[in-house]
């Protein structure tokens, strides 16, 4: 799995207003250009979303 897989990123949030998922990171001009060209291989903002992390801390 590559680091650019948005589906597993903590910044990839569902927007109920637009009924779609979107990245909540404010990309700079260079990163946005790479993203629009689909050449962003390793997103430097990727953070693995672990929904069960809180549950493990409670146990």
Task: Tell whether pTM > 0.85.
Answer: no
pLDDT tens digits, one per residue of 21-46: 888 888 888 877 877 776 556 777 88
pLDDT of residue 18: 93
In the chain, where the domains are located:
6-58
CB 47 within 8 A of CB 10: yes
How far apart are alpha carbons 32 and 44 in whole angstroms?
A: 12
Residue 15: pLDDT above 60? yes
Neighbouring residues of 14: CB distance < 8 A, sequence distance ≥ 6: 20, 21
């Amino acid at each position: 799995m590559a680091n650019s897989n948005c589906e597993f990123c903590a910044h990839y949030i569902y927007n109920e207003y637009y009924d779609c998922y979107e990245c909540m990171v404010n990309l700079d001009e260079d990163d946005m250009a790479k993203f629009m060209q689909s050449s962003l291989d390793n997103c430097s903002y990727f953070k693995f979303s672990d929904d069960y992390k809180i549950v493990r801390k409670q146990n």
